[in-house]
Amino acid sequence: MLFSAGGVVSAMLLPVLVLLFGVAFPLGLLDPPDYAQLSALLANPLTGLVMFSLCALSLFHWAHRFRHTLYDGLQIKHLNEVIAIVSYGAAVAGSTLAAYLLWQLS
Amino acid sequence: MDQNHAYTAYHPRWLRPHVSTYWWLEKPAYLAFILREGSCMFVAWFTVYLLLLLRAIQQGQAAYEAFLAWSAGPVIVLVNIVSFAFLIFHAITFFQAAPQAMVVHVGHRRLPARVLLAAHYAAWAAASIVVFWLLTGA
């Protein structure tokens, strides 16, 4: 459930975000939003909720896929528990950080 | 499995065909599978990137400007261009799988796969336009 929700949310929102913040703004093709504008946008509870869901669900999507690819693809079966703990642990840590940062910005 | 297991003369060996660690290089379909699964690494990378951006914004204007300067480094831009390609691939493959995972009924009839697919693409376009508009005001 977290996997597919994460897959859908990341598919819908990440391409445009990486295009803007990863390519268009750094290369100067478009002007990045100024600080006041961006922090006002993130202070909006709806944007905050969307950003939190995006970060948390994307991380759980990654954790699930990463774990299963190591298991099936590279056949690292003896480390299964360790990999599961590390990947889901990272997802929980990242989600907590996202919640904290967005809380501070709200 | 224990590699040093001593087999007795009449004990049958386990039928366990050896699969190479590089099995996914053998057929294009296998490679597509591993690239699709590999796209999750770029999902993770860009989520971390977003978290760094959020942290910079939380720390203040100077940190935000430092983030923008850092993000313009050639290596970061290159990684993000590759990420963009993988995220598009991720989106397309994920939407393709959606009609198989989602069964939607209207009345007594099942909604055809192409309608669901079209709905996903329409939502994708709408979400992208809204984000683009919010961030560039254009």
Min Cα–Cα distance to chain A from B137, Å: 8
The domain spanning residue B65 has which CATH number? 1.20.1300.10
Report chain B residues whose CB lies below 8 A from the CB of A10: 43, 47, 87, 90
pTM of the model: 0.82
On whether both B33 and B84 belong to a single domain, the answer is: yes
B59 touching A, CB under 8 A?
A: no
Q: Which residues numbered 95-134 in B keep a CB inside 8 Å of some CB on A? A: 95, 98, 101, 120, 123-124, 127-128, 131-132, 134
Strand (E) or helix (H) holding B4:
none
Domain interval for residue B111: 102-138
Q: How many domains does chain B have?
A: 2
A37, A78 Cβ separation under 8 angstroms: no
The answer to whether A8 faces chain B, any CB pair under 8 Å, is yes
B1 is a domain residue: no
Backbone dihedral angles phi then psi of residue B103, each to the nearest 5 degrees = -110, 115
A85 CA: distance to closest CA in chain B (Å): 16
Rounded CA-CA distance A24/A1 in Å is: 33
pLDDT digits (tens, 9 = 90+) for A14-58: 999 999 999 999 898 988 888 988 988 988 899 999 999 999 999
Choice between B119 and B102, residue whose per-residue pLDDT is larger: B119
Q: Which domains does chain A have, with CATH numbers?
A: 2-105 (1.20.1300.10)
Whether residue B126 is found in the same domain as residue B74: no
Structure tokens at A27: 């290369």
- The per-residue pLDDT for range B37-47, each reduced to its tens digit, is 888 899 999 99
